[in-house]
A and B are shown apart, each in its own frame.
Chain A
Amino acid sequence: MSAIWNPQYETMPREELTQLQLERLQSTLHRVYRYVSYYHRVMDEARLQPEELQALDHLRRLPFTTKESLRESYPYAMFALPLREVVRLHFSTGATGAPTVVGYTHNDLRHWTDLVARNLAACGLTKEDVVQILFGYGRFTGGFGFHYGAEALGAAVIPVSSEDVPRQVQIMQDFRTTAIIGTPSYALHLGRMMEKMGLDPHALSLRVGLFGSEPWSEKTRQEIERRLLLTAYDSYGLSEIGGPGVSAECECRCGLHIAEDHFYVEVVDPASGEPLPDGEEGELVFTTLPKEAFPLVRYRTGDLASLTREPCACGRTLARMSRIVRRTDDLLVIRGVAVYPDTVEEVLRQFTEVGRGFQLVVCREEELDTLEVLVEIGNLHDLTLKAVESLRENLTHQLSTTLGLELTVRMVEPHSLHTPLGRVPRVKDERTL
C-alpha cells in the first residue's frame, strides 16, 4: 500500500474530524457574513446569524450557492478579501455560460498543493516518478493544480500541456515518464492515435495515470489501461471550490476520498434540495472550510454521486464518493420522463456500427416535447445506404423501448459529433420553457 501523504488529517478519527470541521465551518461563516455582501444578505434573509450554527447539520438551514450567484458576482464580488491580498486568479471552465473567477491567497495555494500531493501519493506516486502533465496551463485550474502538487511530492514534473501525439510520446520515451495526468478523453485519444501511428506502448515506462475534469466510465478506464499499459485513477475537483484535489481514488479504487478537513460535503436530492442519506445518489454540495480568498457555502456542483463513510482498506478515514458518471445538467425531463444521456450511450455501445459521438436534441412543437437522437456512423465505407437505414430503425426501436419514450434517430457522418479534446455537448435543449 502506498504512503499516506498527510496521515494527521487523512486518517483522523471521525469524531475528531467532525470537531475540526465544526471549528473551521464556524470561522468561515463568521468571515463570509462579515466580508461577503452576498452571504450577509442570504443569512439575514434566512434570519440566521453565523453563531446560531452550533452543529454541522445546522448548515442545512442556509440556502445553496449556485453557479448563477457566482456569475452575478463576476468579477470578484464574492471574494472575502480585497484583490490586493489575492496572489492567484483562476477561471472556472464551466461547460456553459459566462465564466466565474476564483481567487487564492498564499495560504490557499499551500493548502491546494498539499491536497493534490495527497491525491498523487494515494495512487502510489513518489518522488521517484516522472510526471507528465497533459492538462492545459491557462486560466483553468488543472495544469497548475497538479503541477504544484507533483512538485511538492518531489516528482520530476514535465509541463507538456497540449502537444501533438508523436511529440507527447517522444517526451515520454526520452524522459521515461512514469505517470500522466490529464483528461480521460485525451488519454483515450493518445492511446488510439498511438495504435494508428504504430507506436508501441511497451516502449514507454508509464505505470500510473490520474484522470479527471470530466465524467468517464469504467469501460473507458479499461480501454485506457489496456492501450497505455498503466493503472488509471479517477480524480475529482472543480474550480469553483479550488480545483483538483477535492477527492481522488486510493489504490483500492473503491470510491474517491474527499478531503473532508477542507470541504464539508452533503448529498442532496437535486429536485427538492433535501439531504440524502449515505449510499443514495444525489447532487454533491460542498462548503469550503479553511479557504481565505474565496470561501463558498453550500455550493451546488451539479455532479451526481453517493457517499460512504465505511472504513477503507487503505486506512484513510475520509468519506468516499462514488465516481461521477453524470451531472444534473444531463438530466433531461421530456414529457415527464427522466432521460440521462448515459442510458442512451449504453444502448448505442451495443451497436458496433455506431461511432463514439451522439447528441440529444430536444424541441417543443405545439406544447409537445420531441426528442431527436443524432448518432454518428462508425465507418461510412463499411455500410450500404440500406444498412444505414436498417441500423437507424433498429436504434429507434431499442432506444424508445429502453427510455420509454417516442423518439426519432438521425444518422450523421463519422466524427461529426465528437472531438478528441474538450467536452462533447451531448444535449441540445431547444425548448423555450
Chain B
Amino acid sequence: MTAAHFLLRLQSIRVCYDHLEALKGVSLHLEAGEIVALVGANGAGKTTTLAAICGLLPLRGGEIQFQGRSLAGLRPDQIVQLGITQVPEGRMIFAEMPVVDNLRLGAYLRLRAGQRRAVAEDLERMLDLFPILRERKHVLAGNLSGGEQQMLALGRALMARPRLLILDEPTIGLAPRLASQILHTVAELREQGTTILLVEQNVLASLQIADRGYVLETGRVVLQGLSEELLRNRDVQRAYLGKDYEEV
C-alpha cells in the first residue's frame, strides 16, 4: 500500500512575456517513473512551461516544486544540479566536437564533483543504448545525420543522470522511422526508471508511450488524464489526431 510521490508539481503558474500572459495558471504534476506528455497547438504554452520549470523564465504567480522543494529564486544551473535536465528543441549539440566529447560534456557537473569512474561507466552505457553513436564516437557531431544528432542530444542529457528528463520535440524534422526509434528509446528510458516530461508534435505517438497527458490551450490546461483516456476523447481526436467529425 504505497502512495505515489510527486516528483514535480506546478501549482497555478503564470508566465508573461511583457504584457502577454502566456501561461494562465497551469497546474500539473509528475510522479517518479512516469512519462507525461504535454500536448497542444503552436503557441499553447508548451515550451514556455518547460522553460519555466528550468528556471529560464520568471513566474508571475504560482509555484513550482521539485521533490517537495520550491524552485523559486534558483538559477537554471542550480535547477540542473537538482536533477532536471532538458533536451531543447533543435538539439544544440557542439558541432565542432566529436561525439564522445559531447557526451562527456553532459556529465560536466559530475566530472567536476570527481565522479570520473561513474561517468566513464555511463559513457559505455550510452554507447550501448545508442549503438550508432558507438560506431561514430570519434566523428564530429556536426557531421551526424539529424536522427543521430537527436540521439546524441538524448545521450548527453542522460549523462547528467537526471531525475527528471525534459524533452522538447525530440522527433522534429526526423524521418518517420527515425522518429519512432527515438520514441522507442524514450519508452525504454522510462523502463530504466527515468521520469520524463515530453513535448511532442506527434500527439498520437507521444500519448502512445506516455502514462498520462495534459492538453494545453492558450496557456490553460483544458484536459488531463490517462493517455488512453485522452486518446479516446473526441476533442483530442479532432484537434490533434486529425480525425474528422464524421470519423469520431
Contact = CB atoms under 8 A, between A and B. Distances in A.
Contacts of A23: 27-29, 214, 221, 224
Contacts of A24: 224
B9 A19 contact: yes
A107 B4 CA distance: 23
A16 B4 contact: yes
Given A19-B29, A54-B12, A54-B25, A13 B3 contact: yes
Given A22-B11, A24-B224, A12 B229 contact: no
Interface stretch (A25-33, A115-123, A415-423): A25-33
B221 A54 contact: no
Interface centre among A19, A27, A292 (most CB of B within 10 A): A27
Interface of B is mostly: strand
A85 B25 CA distance: 29
Contacts of A277: none
The size bracket of the interface on B is 20 to 34
B27 A31 contact: no
A55 interface: yes
A315 B1 CA distance: 8
Given A12-B3, A54-B25, A107 B220 contact: no
B227 to A, nearest CB: 12
B214 to A, nearest CB: 8
Given A54-B12, A290-B225, A107 B29 contact: no
B11 A27 contact: no
B61 interface: yes
B1 A27 contact: no
B222 A31 contact: yes
Interface of A is mostly: helix
Given A19-B11, A22-B27, A27 B3 contact: no
Interface string A21-58: 01110110011001000000000000000111111000
Interface stretch (A3-11, A189-197, A377-385): A3-11
Given A20-B29, A27-B224, A31-B223, A11 B3 contact: yes
A20 B224 CA distance: 10
Contacts of A4: 1
B12 A55 contact: yes
Interface string B1-43: 1111110010110000000000011011100000000000000
A106 interface: yes
A313 to B, nearest CB: 13
Contacts of A292: 233
27 contacts: A7-B2, A8-B3, A11-B3, A12-B4, A16-B4, A16-B29, A19-B6, A19-B27, A20-B29, A23-B214, A24-B224, A26-B12, A26-B221, A27-B221, A27-B224, A30-B220, A30-B221, A31-B222, A51-B24, A51-B25, A53-B25, A54-B25, A54-B62, A107-B229, A107-B233, A290-B225, A292-B233
Given A19-B6, A27-B224, A106-B232, 6 more contacts: A19-B27, A22-B27, A30-B222, A54-B12, A290-B225, A292-B233
